[in-house]
């Protein structure tokens, strides 16, 4: 699977309580797929992506998706921000020692 940043979709804010999901049509394992997209009354081309609101949004309300559950170190390296002391996963990634 090839990974890429999506134009405009990657500008959605992160939240542990998101109000939208990133939907990718026809690609299993990315939270959604064609079934979810079809539930919204739209047929998307295989591999196309978009943001789908999980609830009604007020005009001007920020769109928030979950970037995942990571420690602050990973958020900073991958996304350029941290959650500070509010992050239950802490600051640093723990390495598995075998």
In angstroms, rounded to a whole number, what is the distance separating the alpha carbons of residues 71 and 90?
Answer: 5
pLDDT of 50 reads: 75
Any idea of the CA torsion for 66, 69, 74, 77, to the nearest 10 degrees?
A: 0
Going residue by residue through the chain, which has 98 residues, state the pLDDT in tens, using 9 for 90 and above: 344 445 555 567 888 888 988 777 665 555 443 444 444 545 566 667 777 888 999 999 998 888 888 899 998 998 889 999 989 898 887 765 55
pTM, entire model: 0.63
pLDDT of 1 reads: 39
- 63 Cβ contact partners less than 8 Å away, ≥ 6 residues apart: 12, 13, 19, 20, 51, 53, 57
């Amino acid at each position: 699977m090839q990974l890429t940043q999506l134009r405009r979709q990657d500008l959605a804010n992160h939240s542990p309580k998101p109000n939208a999901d990133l939907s990718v049509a026809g690609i299993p394992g990315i939270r959604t797929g064609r079934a979810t997209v079809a539930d919204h009354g739209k047929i998307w081309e295989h591999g196309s992506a978009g943001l789908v609101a999980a609830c009604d949004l007020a005009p001007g309300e920020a769109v928030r998706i979950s970037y995942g559950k990571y420690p602050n170190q990973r958020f900073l390296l991958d996304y350029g921000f941290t959650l500070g002391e509010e992050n239950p996963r802490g600051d640093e990634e723990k390495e598995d020692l075998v």
